[in-house]
Amino acid sequence: MKAFIDLYIKRLDKPYILKHLGFTTVVVEEYEKRVDNVNGLRIVRGTLLSATRLGELKEKLRGIKEKYPIVLVDPLSVEVARFAAHDGRVDGIWLDGENIKIVDKAQINMMKQYSKPLIISLREYLSLPDQYKSMIYRRIKLAIDRGVTIIPVSSATSYKEYIVPSTIVYLLSFLFDTDYKYWIYTLASAPREILVRNGVAP
Amino acid sequence: MIVEEILLVLSIAILIVSVYLLYNNLKMYRKALLLLKLRIGDEVLARTGKLRKRYIVFAVISQTRYSKKEINEAIRTTFKHLFGEAILAKADPYIVYYDPGVMRGVIRVSHIYKNHVLAVLSLTPKITGLDALILPIKTTGTIKKARKILYSHRRELQL
């Protein structure tokens, strides 16, 4: 069985379910400890920062790694997106309906250059209007073609919103016309590389 | 001189025969390619031959106890929503067995569309508003084995 990792959960609810779903490590925003182990499930604290101005992002990033080992950035302007793409403290760039126009070809190329993954919240993606879904589909196809890793996350607030890795890989392979093995990689090995880089891997 | 002429005529004759044979072979090759294309076009079915069944053992993680009918309806609705009516008719996912006591069941589906059903399971609560998580446990080829797996797992998944 693969050791799946969910790179962003907003609020932890019934952690034992995550273990049954096949997760070994989860990154949770609303959690007290930096790194914790609960019944064989490793919980790492992480955060999602959103910023419109460069100064705002720099302010938020100052000393953040001491509290949160995993830092994701939701860029709301081009300058923030470009800065986040090459900053060493940032572990991934968030993609949703709000910043779809910011994540363009130049941004994808820059992310490829600095090995930054693109994070996509499935909960938000599935609730978007069809037009936005098509736009995100195009961005994701572009990123896959350029060799940028896409990491799907649940951003769950309750246990009902958790992703089931054994089914979601097939759904993603149908949605984005890719092999399901690619999605196994993005749910298991790719997030693990980020955890190893930050020294919080199990 | 005469010998040379004879050899020349002979070589021309051989050339004509070989061109004729090559042309015939090409015709055969084209026919074979066309047949292959037709088979590929006529879906995976043509290549896979006999339709076999697969039994997916699944567990429902929820605080609400749903009936077999509700779960079946939810899965079929989501399948139709995601892949359309034509594929639904071919795949025909159906819950052949469901135990509300342990909240586990068995879905029967055509072996070609097994991955389609697995994909649908992840979306079912989202589309139909089902207050639950559906977790596939194992896929088997016989219902006997599926039932055995259904009860062999511990009850730790229940809320």
Residue type for position A181 = K
Q: Average pLDDT, stretch A50-63?
A: 93
- Please determine, for residue B118, whether its predicted confidence score (pLDDT) is greater than 90: yes
Q: Average pLDDT, stretch B5-14?
A: 89
CA-based nearest residue in chain A for residue B139: A166
Share of chain B above pLDDT 70, in %: 87
pLDDT, averaged across chain A: 92
Share of chain A above pLDDT 70, in %: 100
Nearest to A51, CA basis, from A40, A38, A42, A62:
A62
CA distances from B90 to A21, A66, A195, B83, B112 (A): 29, 55, 43, 11, 9
Put simply, whether A167 touches B (Cβ < 8 Å) is yes
- Please determine, for residue A74, whether its predicted confidence score (pLDDT) is greater than 90: yes
Put simply, whether A163 touches B (Cβ < 8 Å) is yes
Look-up of token digits 């302007």: A77
Alpha carbon distance A50, A52 (integer Å): 7
pLDDT tens string B30-45: 777 777 665 554 555 5
Contact B135 A20 (CB under 8 A): yes
Alpha carbon distance A89, A29 (integer Å): 16
pLDDT of residue B151: 83
B67-89 burial code (b ≥16 CB/10 A, e <16): eeebbbebbbbbbbebbeeeebe
pLDDT tens string A143-193: 999 999 999 999 999 888 899 998 999 999 999 889 999 999 999 999 999
- Please determine, for residue B46, whether its predicted confidence score (pLDDT) is greater than 70: no
pLDDT of residue B140: 94
Chain A partners within 8 Å of B123 (Cβ)? 126, 171
pLDDT tens string A85-127: 999 999 999 999 888 989 999 999 999 999 999 999 998 898 8
pLDDT of residue B2: 82
